[in-house]
Structure 1
Amino acid sequence: MAKLRYQGYCECEPTKLVREKFGNANVYAQNAQSLLTKATGFISAYDFTLNPYRGCQYGCSYCYAAAFSPNSKMQQDWGNWVILKENAATILAKELQKWYKKNPQQPPRIYMSSVTDPYQPLESQYQLTRSLLEMMLDVRNDGYPTPTLVIQTRSPIITRDIDYLQRFQRLRINMSIPTGSESVRRDFEPRSPSIKARLNAIYLIKKNIDAFKGYIPKISITITPLLPTLDTDEIAFIEQLKIADRVVIQDFHPSHNRSLIASTRSAADKIKQKYAWWYDCEQSSYAKFKSQLLAQLVGVEIKEGKDGFGYE
């Protein structure tokens, strides 16, 4: 298959034109050959990863997923383009059918998503993620168990889908909140939702799903990568984490210059210089924050790195 050339990111005639501009992002559309990708490495506890989009509007400075961009120009412009997998629901239906034909009573374990945010802003318009949730729930009509699903996001848009979320018997929602300080968030991920908006989303989910309305999802707050939280914010932030049944912490991915390797972007390394008081003693800063979590969050599971990203 010929390599696709995206308008704005190639010097010759493009094969993919910009469909529209959504905020700062060029939006492209294409059909996916497959949707469920065999899970390996950090999330090998799952059968598959599922990414409705390629690219992410949030464009966080540290995001390792930029390494998997279609080309080097798009990697450098991470956050300013998104590719819609237009046929996502159709492909997922076929792939689930194939799975259940071989494993009729064994639901697949799916991690959504590994290299994009399934609830980035344009999901409010295109609703690809919602269509995939619907497809996963439809397997019940054929007598199959619903997939085990973990949703990784930093977006309050997830609350739109409470009606679907409560129908998953085995669901964990991972809400990414890497810092408890808004000023730090604005430095490292200025396009992302506020800390308050993310916490409010979890409150809404817990408030609107009860045992009489559906299944109660497991809730994780993933402080990954662990960014600095100012001393003035730390105690109050950790107190708010009690809403979760699990808190996960992890330091930065190593930095690599090669493409197709999960690594922290150089943009984050520059911002880290502003927080030398934390990063000059990164190991002790990490240990101190972890000890505060353990002291304040009695009854909440505290996990680190890969160990924290499983469903159980």
Structure 2
Amino acid sequence: MNPQLDIFGNSNPSKESRPTELGHSTITYKDSSQILTKTSGFMADYDFSINQYSGCSFGCTYCYAAFFSRNKEKMDNWGKWVDVKENALHLLRKKRKRPLIDKTIYMSSVTDPYQPIDKKLELTREILKELIDYHQVRLVIQTRASLVTRDIDLFKKFQTIQVNMTITTDDEEIRKVFEPYCPSNKVRMKAIEEVQNNGIQSCITMTPLLPVKNPEEFASDLKATGVKRYIIQPFHKERGKFVAGTRDEAQRILKNYNWGTDEYERVLNIMRKSLPQLGEGKDGFAPI
């Protein structure tokens, strides 16, 4: 009988190294057919995306990735399950014969590479090591997790890298409704400030921008992190979708703030005055 292997190919992993439950989420381990995905649509200007996880325990109620779920049960339970691509590192190692020279990679497009399970598994960290040792990629990392600071030492070894931190509102009560399991805004700002202060090119993404109580103060707080680049994108309540759990409360907040095109444009104009390097939509997400 072959010994059981962990996600890094080590034999006889402990239960602690392969948790099946973490917080509110069920964790499963599955093989994937690929780890590098050709990009299209909004991310078409990149060569590949890397998604080492399916699902995301942050469970943002508006997340477009939820609507790619294979069945309604998974969609309705978005945030409560994560599938680990346990052969992700193996698949990337197979690319050593044809190194990814100067390829633009976005990590990640439909999950968060630094969601809580990665603190246990460190799969993202191992993928970064593989990219550093055997490839020369241009990497953009997208997260809303303070765990990203763990890998600052590795970020410094990339020739071209940018770390994006998503911060969508200035109000914690709004954040808790739309992003119920995410770190607070203050925690995220502190994390991206630390990344920036370590000489890593950083960006704050307000994507999508949720209702904002005080745009002037919000812009000032973002600028105080030292980050120089920003991306903003509207959330259209008319086209908004929500997974189960907070639909009614989310719609109430959007209605109370009259959050639509006019209000977004008003806030956008205020933010532009304080944040000159503010990109919008797809153009803002262009590869570095």
TM-score normalised by length of structure 1:
0.80
Separation in 1, partners of 2:89, 2:77? 28
Q: Where do residues 25-40 of structure 1 align in structure 2 (5 Å cutoff)?
A: 25-40=25-40
* 2:130 equivalent among 113, 130, 135: 135
Q: Where do residues 158-177 of structure 1 align in structure 2 (5 Å cutoff)?
A: 158-177=148-167
* 1:151 equivalent among 141, 153, 156: 141
Separation in 2, partners of 1:199, 1:20? 30
* 2:231 equivalent among 243, 248, 254: 248
Q: Where do residues 266-281 of structure 1 align in structure 2 (5 Å cutoff)?
A: 266-267=243-244, 270=248, 271-279=250-258
Percent identical across equivalent pairs?
38
Q: Residue 203 of structure 2 aligns with which residue?
A: 220
For residue 156 of structure 1, what is the amino acid of its counterpart? S
Q: Residue 111 of structure 1 aligns with which residue?
A: 106
Separation in 2, partners of 1:75, 1:94? 32
Offset from partner CA, 1:228-256 (integer Å, 9 cap, x none): 1113xx32221122222221111237888
Q: Where do residues 277-288 of structure 1 align in structure 2 (5 Å cutoff)?
A: 277-279=256-258, 282-288=260-266
Separation in 2, partners of 1:36, 1:46? 11
* 1:182 equivalent among 162, 172, 190: 172
Separation in 2, partners of 1:47, 1:150? 12
> CA shift at 1:288, angstroms?
0.9
Confirm or deny: 8 A CA contact 2:174 2:253 kept in the other structure.
Answer: no
Asked whether 1:301 is paired with 2:271, we answer: no
Q: Secondary structure at the match of 2:102?
A: coil
> CA shift at 1:274, angstroms?
2.5
Q: Residue 181 of structure 2 aligns with which residue?
A: 191
Separation in 2, partners of 1:82, 1:109? 26
Confirm or deny: 8 A CA contact 1:48 1:109 kept in the other structure.
Answer: yes
> CA shift at 1:158, angstroms?
0.3
Q: Structure 2: where are the runs of 5+ without partners?
A: 1-17
> CA shift at 1:98, angstroms?
3.1
Separation in 2, partners of 1:36, 1:96? 13
Offset from partner CA, 1:166-198 (integer Å, 9 cap, x none): 111111111000101111101111110000000
Offset from partner CA, 1:115-173 (integer Å, 9 cap, x none): 0000001100011111100000011xxxx5x2100000000000000110111111111
Confirm or deny: 8 A CA contact 1:48 1:110 kept in the other structure.
Answer: yes
> CA shift at 1:87, angstroms?
1.5
Q: Secondary structure at the match of 2:217?
A: helix
Q: Residue 89 of structure 1 aligns with which residue?
A: 89
Confirm or deny: 8 A CA contact 1:117 1:154 kept in the other structure.
Answer: yes
Deviates more, 1:179-188 or 1:48-57: 179-188
Confirm or deny: 8 A CA contact 1:252 1:264 kept in the other structure.
Answer: no
Deviates more, 1:49-58 or 1:263-272: 263-272
> CA shift at 1:294, angstroms?
1.4
Q: Residue 3 of structure 2 aligns with which residue?
A: none
Deviates more, 1:247-256 or 1:124-133: 247-256
Change over 3 Å in CA distance of 1:112–1:121 after alignment to 2: same
Separation in 1, partners of 2:132, 2:141? 15
Confirm or deny: 8 A CA contact 2:172 2:184 kept in the other structure.
Answer: yes
> CA shift at 1:99, angstroms?
4.8
Separation in 1, partners of 2:98, 2:174? 45
Confirm or deny: 8 A CA contact 1:172 1:219 kept in the other structure.
Answer: yes
Separation in 1, partners of 2:118, 2:175? 22
Q: Residue 43 of structure 1 aligns with which residue?
A: 43
Separation in 1, partners of 2:55, 2:96? 24
Q: Structure 1: where are the runs of 5+ without partners?
A: 1-17, 101-105, 210-215, 257-262
> CA shift at 1:86, angstroms?
1.0
Change over 3 Å in CA distance of 1:68–1:255 after alignment to 2: farther
TM-score normalised by length of structure 2:
0.87
